[in-house]
Chain A
Amino acid sequence: MKRVYVNEKWCLGCHLCEYYCAFANSGKSSMVKALKDHKIAPRIHIEERNNISFAVSCRHCIDPLCVKGCISGALTIVDGAVQIDSDKCVGCYTCILSCPYGALSTSNEGAIQKCELCAKNEFGQPMCVQGCPNKAIVYEER
């Protein structure tokens, strides 16, 4: 299955992946409309320090602890990708407790949010990958 992989050697710390992610999941037709004067809440996050930087988003584990521990069944594996049904999620954060990558985050809507590989938005392909200027984030089979 194709997954999003990160190669920190090429990550520039430009944070554009975060903005493309926030835009892709905003439902808005343009990045300006989606993000102007907004504090973004992306599903991918850059860690950076001393010229090292890399993006972290859901690894779509084969054996996902978040799915196994989800108390409401809101997290499921759909075609290999871990998806969140935000309608079912009660916001208990057991997944945040479980995920070894820190890849799930809280959202303003109460449910948790996570990378769904842009499968549910109009782009259909991970926009963080599209937006990465240096192929530090790739979407491929490994």
Chain B
Amino acid sequence: MAIDFLYPQYEVVRNYDRCIACRACERQCANEVHFYDPEFEKMMVDESKCVNCHRCVSLCPTRALKIVKTDHTFKENANWTGKAISEVYRQAGSGGVLLSSMGNPEPYPIYWDKILINASQVTNPSIDPLREPMETKTFLGKKPGKIERDENGRLIPNMSPQLELNVPIMFSAMSYGSISYNAHESLARAACALGTYYNTGEGGLHQDFYQYGPHTIVQVASGRFGVHKDYLEAGAAIEIKMGQGAKPGIGGHLPGHKVGPDISKTRMIPEGTDAISPAPHHDIYSIEDLRQLVYSLKEATEYKKPVMVKIAAVHNVAAIASGVARSGADVICIDGYRGGTGAAPTRIRDNVGIPIELALAAVDQRLRDEGIRDQVSVVVGGSIRNSADLLKAIALGADACYIATAALLALGCHLCRSCQTGKCNWGIATQRPELVKRLNPDIGSQRLINLVTAWDHELKEMMGGMGINSIEALRGNRLMLRGLGLTQKELNILGIKHAGE
């Protein structure tokens, strides 16, 4: 047996005084970490298989388990960290590209945490959202530049199609394939109940979910999986995916073993084949090409649905967004580098793209400067972690936010970042039926509803404190923000003053 250079990352600590050997941990671990030893009459572990997903910890009825990071260490230094060393070992062993999932975990700055929110004192009254009206409804889509009237003076309805959001939060694109049927159902049902939208991702729309169409954004991506007339017509809006924050510049790959009968049917590809989304759309090499696709989709749906274009936040995002706005898109979605994924090459995930805070501020400013801000709505995603991030994003210029990682956390995800293995113990990022059933959409959808409702309450509370009672009045209101510990350059890009100014 070859020498294993790696040491398990985690230790499974079992309190044998509490363990009743019910074996729930064993039954619930798809990684086969736990097993019962009849000779010792004890539960044992193979911690090398543990991904720290906490399924066992959460289900243990006597709280006899905990998972700790091992304190075993390589001879690290500031340059050659344990992570850097072990990655070299892994690649020397496998010869392969390192794969990871979920968002960029590296310690880059988090600008949300360096921005503070204003509140009213003395000269301007704050608002109590429990006593006074407070509106968090918002509409996405092109807003008309001017009011038009006919010869009789009557208003000409020139409003482009809009998406109506009861809360400025939507669930961002996660394909059926990358996540499970039950995860999709949970998102779809929650979106309906909340009066907002979820997004099919690039995997098509399962027949069972057409009923949630009025609260569905259907995505068209480079692989064009599952795209057909009924699909486009089923959704409330269509999103063209040009890029993804977790892996800008590259495509996607759903391995054949995850393409079972249902997914095969939904994606319209043969069972067992790899579903490969190319890095670019092979028919889009310019803004003009994008415009062709935007209008093809509008034409196909009789101009009744907004068309959204999703791009990853990359270096010249402002210019790209300007182009997208001119392509005829109704909504631009920008995905920051912390955005999640079911699988991405680690180097790409951890090194490509830019923070959403900076991208958003730059895009909003550029569109304003060019006088085309009203032609598009701006939706941002890529690690909106709480209602404060949400509020700050709106104040920086966003019309609404996309959440996905937070939504998956609500469903039970423990950010073990092992989606690519397909053995998600929480029934989210897996297609194995015995694992998928672990996520009961009755529970899942309710937890999503709870989360978004809670954020909405908090958003209203913070808005009230600022004396603001509508999303309209908050959007792009950068005076409500101050930076802390930021350089002048960063403040300039964010378009905010430093705290104390």
Contact = CB atoms under 8 A, between A and B. Distances in A.
Most buried by B among A16, A35, A37, A133: A133
Nearest to B23: A15
Contact of A35 (B20, B433, B437): B20
Interface of A: 9-16, 19-20, 23, 30-32, 35-38, 51, 131, 133-136
Interface stretch (B114-122, B249-257, B438-446): B438-446
Nearest to A132: B440
Given A13-B27, A32-B18, A35-B20, A19 B433 contact: no
Given A14-B59, A32-B62, A35-B20, 6 more contacts: A12-B28, A31-B62, A32-B17, A36-B19, A38-B20, A135-B440
Interface residues of B, number: 20
Contacts of B268: none
Nearest to A13: B27
Contacts of B28: 12, 14
Nearest to B64: A32
Contacts of B87: none
A14 B27 contact: yes
Nearest to B27: A14
A31 B442 CA distance: 28
Ranked nearest first, the 10 interchain pairs of A and B with the lowest CB-CB distance are: A35-B20, A51-B434, A19-B22, A10-B440, A134-B440, A14-B24, A36-B20, A32-B18, A32-B62, A135-B440
A71 to B, nearest CB: 36
B82 interface: no
B438 A12 contact: yes
Given A32-B18, A32-B20, A134-B440, A16 B59 contact: yes
Contacts of B443: 134-135
Contacts of A37: 20
A35 B18 contact: no
A61 to B, nearest CB: 26
A15 B22 contact: yes
19 contacts: A12-B28, A12-B438, A14-B28, A15-B22, A15-B24, A16-B59, A19-B20, A19-B22, A19-B24, A20-B61, A23-B61, A31-B20, A36-B18, A36-B19, A36-B20, A38-B20, A51-B433, A133-B58, A135-B442
Interface string B48-87: 0000000000110110000000000000000000000000
Interface of A is mostly: loop
Contacts of A32: 17-18, 20, 62
Most buried by B among A20, A31, A51: A31
Contacts of B62: 30-32
A20 B22 CA distance: 10
Interface string B19-60: 110111001100000000000000000000000000000110
A123 to B, nearest CB: 14
Contacts of B19: 36
A140 B62 CA distance: 27
A10 B59 contact: no
Contacts of A11: 437
A10 B437 contact: yes
Nearest to A38: B20
Most buried by B among A9, A11, A32, A38: A32
A26 to B, nearest CB: 11
Contacts of B59: 14, 16, 133
A23 B61 CA distance: 11
A16 B28 CA distance: 11
Given A10-B437, A134-B440, A31 B61 contact: yes
